Structure 1
Amino acid sequence: MNIPTLENHFVKLSPLSLSNYKNLIDIAQEENLVQYSPSKIDTEEDLLAYVQTAIDGITQKTTIPFIVYDKSKKAYAGSTRFGLINWKNKVLHIGWTWIGNEFQGSGLNTQMKFLMLQYAFETLNFNKVEFRVDKRNVRSRKAVEKLGAKLEGILRKDTLMLDGFKRSTCCYGILKEEWTVIKSSTFSSFI
């Protein structure tokens, strides 16, 4: 599968690989960076395993992982990916997103999501993009809602966290027919 580079004036999303993931080691060690995720990335070994899992999904055509580069700060900021790609039904998830503390609240995440939504709907011609967010993660839930995603339901106690807690997951979605309106309203300054 050919993985594209997605970019605009603010951010560059390049294919995540075993040759570039080390640019994220310091960020991955930030405290509470992925506290609402069932993934562990805070050691170099854990980060390598996380990246290897993402790369393995490429060969199965179920993931497209990216490394995030903030052009204004001239620094690597984190990682994101398309996952659970269902080519037959034209549905995919955007998630596995984490960016360092210094990049949070800067608008970088919104820029990333615009590029990813645009690619999913306009290039891949998918019918739906979904987001899954820990019910407790109010900040991420608000960010996804700000993008125009609609809450479709909550999966109760569906994911086992590293500390043994069973989290509930909020399921959000954007349909292809909603994209044009969302693009012109939410992302009007990006186009």
Structure 2
Amino acid sequence: MMEINPNQILEDGRVLLRPLEKSDVDHLLYFSINEPDTWFYSLVRANGKENLENYIDIALKAKENKTEFPFIVFDKKTNHYAGSTRFYDINFAFKTLQLGYTWYGKNFQGTSLNKHCKYLLLEFAFEILGMERVEFRADANNAKSVAAMKSIGCKVDGILRSNMPTFESDVRRDSIVLSILKSEWIDSVKENLKSKLH
């Protein structure tokens, strides 16, 4: 059965994505303590050291089960760790996976870093892993995240109503579902995204 090399690294001139490790708490703690709003829309929060340790533990357990593959993001331009992202709900039989749990420190948001990361991840998913569909999800109210996904070429599939709980009691979120198909990647998304890398 197909699987991802546990030591898989993806990189270009701007960014390096390497497998997330337990010791990466040290590299990401600054964001966890100083930028807690980063996880406002996330059900699994990493604000504060204890939450960050839990966040990484959950990701690493899922990696062991081969349903997820988490990366830490290193920005070569600034020579600093910038955040984290991962493949999840990996299904080789159906040739699908989801790309998400993506967050960056405030100084890295709005730069070309995300587009470099997404280019490497999508290229790997479609051209190496042979996926036919890469899916993205977000809180439907998270306009910034939805805009970022559309900007890399995602198409909206629809809204999953009352899809998940939130941290507010008795409040559930609607999740927006977006995707890129392999045919779209080959036909236009890859070149369009490549043209935005700088």
TM-score, normalised with respect to structure 2: 0.92
Partner residue, 2:12:
8
Aligned-pair distance for 1:188?
Answer: 3.0
Q: Do the aligned residues in 2 keep the contact of 1:133 with 1:141 (CA within 8 Å)?
A: yes
Partner residue, 1:171:
177
Q: Do the aligned residues in 1 keep the contact of 2:115 with 2:196 (CA within 8 Å)?
A: no
Q: Do the aligned residues in 2 keep the contact of 1:39 with 1:162 (CA within 8 Å)?
A: no
Secondary structure of the residue aligned to 2:36 is coil
Identity, in percent, stands at 38
What letter is aligned with 1:132? R
Partner residue, 1:27:
31
Aligned-pair distance for 1:189?
Answer: 5.3
Q: What RMSD over aligned residues (CA atoms) do the two structures have, in Å?
A: 1.4
Partner residue, 1:113:
118
CA pair 190-106 structure 1, distance change in 2 beyond 3 A: closer
Query: Residues of 2 paired with 1:94 and 1:141: CA distance?
Result: 13
Aligned-pair distance for 1:173?
Answer: 0.6
Structure 1: 5+ residue stretches without partners = none
Match of 1:58 among 43, 59, 63: 63
Match of 1:155 among 147, 155, 160: 160
CA pair 14-21 structure 1, distance change in 2 beyond 3 A: farther
Secondary structure of the residue aligned to 1:186 is helix
Query: Residues of 1 paired with 2:49 and 2:146: CA distance?
Result: 29
Q: Do the aligned residues in 1 keep the contact of 2:119 with 2:193 (CA within 8 Å)?
A: no
Q: Do the aligned residues in 1 keep the contact of 2:84 with 2:103 (CA within 8 Å)?
A: yes
What letter is aligned with 2:120? L
Q: What do the CA deviations read for 1:42-79 (whole angstroms, capped 9, x no partner)?
A: 12111111111111111211000000111101100111
User: Segments of 4+ in structure 1 off by > 4 A?
Assistant: none
CA pair 177-102 structure 1, distance change in 2 beyond 3 A: same
Query: Residues of 2 paired with 1:190 and 1:139: CA distance?
Result: 19
The number of equivalent residue pairs is 191
Q: Which deviates more, 159-168 or 116-125?
A: 159-168
Structure 2: 5+ residue stretches without partners = none
Secondary structure of the residue aligned to 1:32 is helix
Match of 2:193 among 163, 186, 189: 186
Partner residue, 1:45:
50
Query: Residues of 1 paired with 2:156 and 2:84: CA distance?
Result: 24
CA pair 68-120 structure 1, distance change in 2 beyond 3 A: same
Aligned-pair distance for 1:190?
Answer: 4.6
Q: Do the aligned residues in 2 keep the contact of 1:156 with 1:167 (CA within 8 Å)?
A: yes
Q: What do the CA deviations read for 1:105-164 (whole angstroms, capped 9, x no partner)?
A: 011111111110000001101110000011111111011011111100100111111223
Q: Do the aligned residues in 1 keep the contact of 2:115 with 2:197 (CA within 8 Å)?
A: no
Aligned-pair distance for 1:2?
Answer: 1.9
